[in-house]
């Protein structure tokens, strides 16, 4: 479009309204990583191929190998991504322990839940890696989560000194037990349900019981907390 220049300098070009730009899609490398993580969570690393991931992304095998030169390199990238993600949340988890007693557990659970919610495949990938028993990957995962484990162990010891945590508790073993409970719960949540209960309600009830179990296990005197509202009859166990 042109408009006449009244100053005599000639016609001046003007631009019409710009079309709205579409949000950029994830880069190919990131899309490959996302699909590889999803497939490993579903099947395990041993049951997927480079071609499986390429098909899921919608690119050729050669294009995938340009970004990740081998199946093993892709596997290592998935594990490294999980470790990086966990380390980012570790900084938030540190801030969760500013309260006392049960407050720390509630805040820590909120951060742990956020970690698994933002990466819904993480728990199953970690669990599959542990069950597959690849020593190299298990060692990398162990090193990656070690800061989390040390933080939890140090917090339990501090709680014992303050009288909040049971004195007879074996701190390291307790961290292992709690970690296993959390990992398996978050890994299985997307796959399970209960007859007559919708997924959202069931998720909240399961996680609520996990917090209650951990609280009763760790603390010298667990807080009773607010009473839960009565559940609908359809979700209660039917007895004769």
List beta partners, residue 165: 219
Mean pLDDT, rounded, for 26-47: 93
- pTM of the predicted model, to two decimals? 0.74
Q: How many domains does the chain have?
A: 1
Q: Tell me how far apart the alpha carbons of residues 61 and 52 are, in angstroms, rounded to a whole number.
A: 9
240 within domain boundaries? no
13 within domain boundaries? no
64 within domain boundaries? no
pLDDT in tens, 163-186: 889 999 999 999 999 999 999 999
6 within domain boundaries? no
43-47, 111-115, 155-159, 174-178: least confidently modelled range: 111-115
**Highest mean pLDDT of the ranges 24-28, 109-113, 149-153:** 149-153
pLDDT in tens, 197-239: 999 999 999 999 998 999 899 998 755 444 444 455 444 444 4
Q: 198 — alpha (psi -120 to 50), left (phi > 0) or beta?
A: beta
CATH of residue 195's domain is 1.10.357.10
141 within domain boundaries? yes
Query: Domain limits at 159?
Result: 79-222
pLDDT in tens, 117-130: 888 899 999 999 99
Q: Give kind and range of the element (H or E) at residue 12.
A: strand 12-13
148 within domain boundaries? yes
67 within domain boundaries? no
Q: Contact at 8 Å (CB) between 108 and 72?
A: no
User: Nearest to residue 45, comparing CAs of 84, 16, 71?
Assistant: 71
Q: Tell me how far apart the alpha carbons of residues 175 and 15 are, in angstroms, rounded to a whole number.
A: 64
């Amino acid at each position: 479009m042109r408009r006449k220049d009244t100053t005599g300098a000639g016609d001046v070009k003007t631009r019409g309204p710009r079309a709205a730009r579409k949000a950029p899609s994830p880069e190919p490398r990131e899309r490959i990583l996302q699909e590889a993580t999803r497939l490993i969570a579903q099947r395990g690393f041993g049951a997927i191929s480079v071609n499986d991931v390429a098909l899921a992304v919608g690119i050729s095998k050669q294009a995938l190998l340009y970004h990740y030169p081998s199946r093993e390199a892709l596997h290592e990238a998935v594990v490294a991504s999980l470790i990086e993600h966990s380390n980012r949340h570790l900084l938030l988890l540190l801030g969760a322990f500013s309260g006392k007693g049960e407050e720390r557990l509630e805040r820590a659970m909120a951060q742990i839940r956020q970690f698994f919610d933002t990466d819904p495949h993480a728990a199953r990938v970690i669990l599959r890696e542990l069950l597959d028993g690849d020593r190299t990957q298990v060692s990398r995962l162990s090193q990656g989560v070690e800061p989390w484990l040390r933080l939890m162990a140090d917090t339990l010891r501090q709680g014992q000194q303050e009288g909040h945590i049971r004195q007879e508790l074996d701190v390291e073993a307790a961290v292992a037990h709690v970690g296993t409970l959390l990992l398996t719960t978050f890994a299985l949540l997307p796959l399970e349900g209960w007859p007559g209960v919708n997924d959202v309600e069931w998720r909240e009830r399961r996680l609520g019981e996990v917090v209650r179990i951990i609280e009763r296990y760790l603390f010298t005197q667990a807080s009773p907390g607010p009473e839960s509202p009565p559940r609908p009859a359809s979700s209660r166990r039917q007895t004769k």
